[in-house]
Chain A
Amino acid sequence: MTPVTAAESLTPELAAARALGDDALVLAQRLGEWAGDAPVLEEDVALTNIALDLLGQARTLLSLTGDEDELAFLREEHEFRNVQLAELPIGDFADTTARQLYFSVYQELLYAALADTGGALAPLAAKAVVEVAYHRDHAEQWTLRLGDGTEESHRRMQRAVDGLWRYTGELFEPLDGLGVDLPGLHPVWRERVADVLGRATLTVPGGPDRTPWAAGAGRQGVHTEAFGRLLAEMQYLHRAHPGASW
């Protein structure tokens, strides 16, 4: 079995592609947990569409930097470069909606900028931005309905947007090799998210938006406790049969 190329020995552009691929893979894995358990059948179909788009993006991106299955199933936690926001447990439908809002607004800005760079990843980003625009719309529609729905849904949604806020700063840490000014996108992201939250009668969270820990976060290979379990579940079968084809 060929050892997986360490992120450190990739070109900056490929290392960044792998990080974005990890984001998409890990979030697709989380969304896959909803299958059969969504609040209404129509939503089962919608969430799976999003998961399938993300999984498709992940496969394209990861394949640029190695074998997609070796990368997905044979790396350990610290070798993954996804942001922590993607790996958090699905929680309730408000948590999932809040994460989708934060993440899809980010992805839409990022892919649009990446498509404009004209670099090697631009064609892929141009395709993905269309998918992601739909994910953002879906998240926005649900944020409005949960925020401005019932007392209970408002309470749950406010708790969810507050709780996830501290994972959002990481999204805009510089990512070398993309040719995209990620920190520069942060204010646009804040503005767009604040607009949706405002229309949803929700308050924009005020707390810190990133970890104070010097070790860093997902982009440095530092993850949450929940991530180890996610990988244990995702990888166990593949790892139990070394070298097997599926």
Chain B
Amino acid sequence: MSGQSPQDAWPLWEVFVRGRRGLSHTHAGSLHAPDAQMALRNARDLYTRRAEGVSIWVVPSTAITASSPDEKDPFFEPAADKPYRHPTFYEIPEGVKHL
């Protein structure tokens, strides 16, 4: 009665939009669509109706593998203690330019 038969359920897609040339695709949100072709079109209508994009990717939500939510886990912790990867680590005498 409510139309909740599994036959009419559409899978979830994650939408990534490139705002303009020169930028990378950024996660914009998600939507439901029966297949990739329709997902792309729905994404165009939903996430770029104010001219927010020049290119769209859609990915089935189930196809994304995520890292652990814990930011202190072995995935990210080691990167946090390597400040020498960042330019601000280095002290340069005042007046030195183009560095």
A and B touch in the complex (CB under 8 A): yes
Cβ of B37 and Cβ of A42 under 8 Å apart?
Answer: no
Asked whether A42 and B49 contact (CB < 8 A) given A138-B41, A141-B38, the answer is no
- Is the C-beta of B46 less than 8 angstroms from some C-beta in chain A? yes
Q: Give the residues in chain A near B38, CB-CB below 8 Å.
A: 141, 145
- Residue contact B10 to A40, C-beta cutoff 8 Å: yes
Fill in one digit per residue for B29-52: 1 if any A CB lies within 8 Å of its CB, else 0. Answer: 001111001100110011001000
Task: Please state if B37 and A141 are interface contacts (CB–CB under 8 Å).
Answer: yes
Chain B nearest CB, measured from A127 CB (Å): 14
Q: Is B37's CB under 8 angstroms from A45's CB? A: no
Residue A49 is within 8 A (CB to CB) of chain B in the complex: yes
Chain A interface main SS type:
helix
Bound-state Cα–Cα, A141 to B46, Å:
17
A42 to B45, CA, bound (A): 8
Give the total of B residues in contact with A, Cβ under 8 Å.
12
Contact of B49 with A141 in the complex, beta carbons under 8 Å = no
Decide if A4 is an interface residue (CB 8 Å cutoff): no
In the bound complex, residues from chain A placing their C-beta under 8 Å from that of B37 are 141
Closest Cβ of chain A: how far from B61's Cβ, in Å?
15
Whether A137 is near chain B, meaning CB under 8 Å from some CB there, is yes
Q: How far is the CB of B10 from the nearest CB of chain A, in Å? A: 7
Known interface pairs A40-B10, A45-B49, A49-B49. Does A141 touch B41 (Cβ–Cβ under 8 Å)?
yes
Chain A 34-46 per-residue mask, 1 if CB under 8 angstroms from chain B, else 0: 0000001010011
Tell whether, in the assembled complex, residue A46 and residue B42 are in contact, meaning their CB atoms are under 8 Å apart. yes
* Cα separation A137 to B42 with both chains bound (whole Å): 12
Q: Which residues of B contact A137 (CB under 8 A)?
A: 41
Nearest-CB residue, chain B, relative to A137: B41
- Identify the closest chain A residue to B34 (Cβ): A145
Q: Give min CB distance, A97 to chain B, whole Å.
A: 13
Taking CB as reference atom, which chain B residue is nearest A50?
Answer: B45
A-facing residues in B8-45 (Cβ within 8 Å): 10, 31-34, 37-38, 41-42, 45
| A42 with B42: CB separation less than 8 A | yes
Given A137-B41, A138-B41, A141-B41: A42 touches B34 (CB 8 Å cut-off): no
What is the distance, in angstroms, from A53's C-beta to the closest C-beta of chain B? 11
Known: A138-B41, A141-B37, A145-B38. 10 other contacts (CB 8 A): A40-B10, A42-B33, A42-B42, A45-B42, A45-B46, A45-B49, A46-B41, A46-B42, A137-B41, A145-B34
